[in-house]
């Protein structure tokens, strides 16, 4: 049954108008980042990571630059507990990194959690209980006062055990299912917890506002966050944290608008792994800031390595279109897109602008460890002449004349269309050379001699069907003289309309490439290329191939 009438909004707007966030243009500084890959992300895997796998993932998070890492729910399983103890006992936690552990607001679980973190230089103890209307009515069958008391009792016990232990602990509280909780009631519960903890400027507490399930448009969440930020007790000593999930596909938007609304911290996962549709994707969030010229305070410069390690350890697959890190996110198959990117890249070479403004590329792919050669201009049957020319220039240093690009583009598109596949750069080069280089099905030029008289006299020896023949003509220059000889021999126009040349490699032994285009009497164009150390020989070879094309 597909019946929309069984649903209605399950969220609550704040009792007062809260939309100051609307006036802010963009997130202008990085939040405090907390990776929850090793807890929230790990518990969402079909096969949770082993101890060794969690250690490898943890080290990757350190390399990225996370200073707060939720390492698990140590009272939930022996593996979680052992992982926590391993990090502490083997001194694997850098001085500037804080581990975080999760616990329900239940006394025996809280006590087990403190046992797990004993000896840590510092740790965040994250306690939670659900406060939503649906959970109060359906799961716990408790009143608002009873649910609030669970939070208060949990907060009290954290403070008592921390004093007994003498450790360096910071406290965090989450009203789980915040998005399904009346904002004024969530505020009441959170303030009761803050009053118990009495945070100071030297030891702030964290109030985390989880989007346990997305229920609303992002602007509603932003209004809820702003309401909490404006009305929390002791706000200067409270870090407001967000923990968005992605049920409506707007976890990133929730986070960005929540930061505009006054939040200080984000809990999320690399690549958005998490329960159901996932947690908020920290990579997308951080790279969105980066693309606005804001330092995200995370090192995401080797995205291929992060992707490979993530997929290996989680057995999850990153979608090819995943923002910033998918295999195809910088790829352009469309001809118009390829042409714009190609021209944008040439503009950068010619003008050396300070800012990155290349069309269709929001960031420079090289910033995240990608390459132009294999990641940007991709060739298939949808590609255009500009893209094909860009591939040959980028990979092989061949600057294709504009007049030649359309003919080449159609040739490449035809091959891709018939084969129903993308073509590699080497395959594009193969098509290019097969069509234009040493194309001699009708005749070959084996020898050419020049003499300067009234202009240039050319004696051209050609081979046709295994026989040699000498043809002669005069012209304004060497190539003109050879083209006149060929036109006379085959009784066909050989009007040179395109001639370009350039070196392929620098130095005294550099090869040169020549491009020649000719037209017949109907103004139809034919093209050829020649590559040789001698530019005259290269030019003659190019003309030879173009004339053979005309004879087809």
Q: What is the pLDDT of residues 372-392, one digit of tens each?
A: 766 777 777 787 788 888 889
Residue 419: per-residue pLDDT: 86
The CATH number linked to 239 is 3.20.20.70
Residue 201 sits in the same domain as residue 297 = yes
The residue out of 435, 459, 478 marking a domain boundary is 435
pLDDT at 374: 66
Q: Which long-range contacts (CB under 8 A, 24 or more apart) does 229-232 make?
A: 229/261, 229/262, 229/263, 230/18, 230/262, 231/187, 231/191, 232/187, 232/190, 232/191, 232/194, 232/207
Please determine, for residue 507, whether its predicted confidence score (pLDDT) is greater than 60: no
Residue 319 lies in a domain: no
* CA atoms 87, 88, 90, 96: torsion sign: positive
User: Is 214 domain-assigned?
Assistant: yes
139: left (phi over 0), alpha (psi -120 to 50) or beta: alpha
CA distance 145 to 142: 8
Whether 131 maps to a domain, the answer reads yes
pLDDT at 428 > cutoff 80: yes
pLDDT of residue 385: 82
Strand ordering across the sheet containing 495-503:
495-503, 512-519, 525-532
- Stretch 306-313: mean pLDDT: 97
pLDDT digits (tens, 9 = 90+) for 75-111: 988 999 999 999 999 999 999 999 999 999 999 999 9
Q: What H or E segment, with its residue span, contains residue 265? A: strand 265-268
Q: Could you tell me if 86 and 169 lie in one domain?
A: yes
Sequence-distant (≥ 6) Cβ neighbours of residue 66 within 8 angstroms: 33, 34, 35, 97, 298
pLDDT of residue 376: 74
d(CA 376, CA 339) in angstroms, rounded, equals: 12
Residue 338 has a pLDDT of 81
Check whether residue 214 and residue 80 sit in a common domain: yes
Give the pLDDT score at 282.
98
Mean pLDDT for the stretch of residues 192-197: 98
Residues 265 and 164 in one domain: yes
Residue 6 lies in a domain: no
Sign of the CA dihedral 265, 267, 272, 278? negative
User: What is the count of structural domains for the chain?
Assistant: 3
With contact defined as beta carbons under 8 Å apart, do 37 and 273 qualify?
yes
Residue 84 confidence (pLDDT): 97
In terms of domains, do 137 and 164 share one? yes
Confidence of residue 506 (pLDDT cuts 50, 70, 90): low
The pLDDT, as a whole number, for residue 526 is: 95
Is the domain of 45 the same as that of 109? yes
pLDDT above 90 for 313: yes
Residue 480 in domain: yes
The residue from 435, 469, 494 where one domain ends is: 435
pLDDT of residue 508: 52
**CATH number for the domain harbouring residue 496:** 3.30.160.270
Q: Are residues 133 and 281 in the same domain?
A: yes
Q: Are 34 and 267 in contact (CB under 8 A)?
A: yes
Residue 306 lies in a domain: yes
431 plus 448 within the same structural domain: no
Mean pLDDT value of segment 1-27: 93
- Where in the sequence is the domain holding 369, given as residue range(s)? 335-435
Last residue of a domain, which of 254, 280, 313? Answer: 313
> Is residue 326 situated within a structural domain?
no
**Token pair for 325:** 């890190």
| Domain assignment of residue 258, yes or no | yes
- As a whole number, the mean pLDDT across the chain is 94
Distance CA 245, CA 446 (A): 72
124 and 270 housed in the same domain: yes
What integer pLDDT is reported at residue 331 of this predicted model?
A: 85
Q: Are residues 179 and 196 in the same domain?
A: yes
pTM of the model: 0.85
Rounded Cα gap, residues 191 and 200, in angstroms? 15
Calpha distance 523→83 (Å, rounded): 76
Query: What would the pLDDT profile of 209-241 be if each residue is shown by its tens digit?
Result: 999 999 999 999 999 999 999 999 999 999 999
Give pLDDT tens digits for 251-291. 999 999 999 999 999 999 999 999 999 999 999 999 999 99
For residues 172 and 290, state if they share a domain: yes
Specify whether 266 is located in the same domain as 133.
yes
């Amino acid at each position: 049954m597909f019946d929309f009438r069984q649903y209605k909004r399950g969220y609550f707007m704040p009792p007062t108008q809260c939309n100051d966030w609307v006036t802010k243009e963009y997130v202008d500084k990085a939040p405090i980042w907390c990776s929850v890959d090793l807890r929230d992300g790990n518990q969402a895997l079909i096969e949770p990571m082993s101890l060794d796998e969690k250690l490898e993932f943890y080290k990757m998070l350190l390399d990225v630059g996370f200073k707060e890492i939720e390492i698990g729910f140590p009272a939930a399983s022996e593996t979680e507990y052992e992982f926590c103890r391993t990090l502490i006992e083997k001194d694997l936690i850098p001085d500037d990194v804080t581990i975080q552990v999760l616990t329900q607001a239940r006394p025996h679980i809280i006590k087990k959690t403190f046992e797990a973190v004993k000896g840590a230089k510092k740790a965040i103890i994250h306690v939670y209980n659900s406060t939503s209307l649906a959970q109060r009515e359906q799961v716990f069958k408790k009143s608002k006062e009873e649910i609030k008391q669970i939070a208060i009792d949990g907060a009290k016990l954290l403070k008592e055990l921390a004093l007994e232990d003498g450790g360096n602990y910071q406290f965090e509280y989450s009203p789980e299912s915040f998005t399904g909780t009346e904002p004024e009631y969530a505020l009441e519960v959170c303030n009761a917890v803050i009053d118990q903890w009495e945070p100071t400027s030297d030891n702030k507490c964290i109030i985390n506002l989880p989007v346990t399930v997305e229920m609303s448009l992002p602007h509603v969440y932003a209004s809820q966050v702003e309401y909490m930020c404006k009305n929390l007790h002791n706000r200067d000593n409270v870090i407001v944290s967000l923990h968005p999930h992605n049920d409506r596909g707007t976890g990133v938007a929730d986070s960005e608008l929540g930061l505009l609304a006054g939040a200080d911290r984000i809990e999320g996962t690399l690549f958005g792994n998490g329960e159901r549709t996932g947690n908020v994707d920290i990579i997308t969030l951080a790279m969105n800031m980066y693309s606005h010229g804001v330092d995200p305070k995370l090192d995401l410069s080797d995205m291929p390595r992060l992707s490979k390690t993530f997929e290996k350890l989680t057995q999850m697959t990153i979608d090819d279109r995943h923002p910033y890190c998918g295999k195809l996110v910088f790829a352009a198959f469309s001809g118009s897109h390829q042409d714009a990117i190609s021209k944008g890249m040439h503009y950068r070479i010619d003008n050396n602008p300070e800012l990155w403004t290349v069309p269709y590329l929001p960031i420079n792919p090289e910033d995240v460890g990608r390459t132009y050669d294999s990641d940007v201009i991709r060739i298939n049957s949808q590609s255009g002449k500009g893209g094909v020319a860009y591939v040959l220039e980028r990979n092989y240093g061949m600057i294709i004349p504009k007049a030649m690009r359309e003919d080449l583009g159609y040739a490449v598109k035809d091959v891709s269309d018939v084969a129903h596949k993308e073509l590699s750069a080497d395959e594009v080069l193969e098509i290019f050379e097969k069509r234009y280089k040493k194309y001699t099905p009708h005749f070959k030029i084996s020898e050419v001699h020049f003499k300067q008289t009234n202009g240039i006299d050319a004696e051209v020896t050609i081979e046709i069907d295994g026989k040699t023949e000498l043809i002669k003509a005069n012209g304004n220059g060497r190539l003109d003289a050879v083209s006149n000889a060929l036109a006379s021999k085959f009784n066909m126009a050989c009007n040179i309309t395109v001639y370009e040349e350039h070196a392929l490699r620098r130095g005294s032994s550099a090869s040169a490439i020549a491009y020649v285009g000719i037209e017949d009497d109907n103004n139809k164009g034919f093209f050829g290329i020649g590559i040789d150390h001698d530019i005259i020989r290269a030019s003659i070879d190019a003309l030879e191939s173009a004339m053979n094309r005309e004879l087809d």
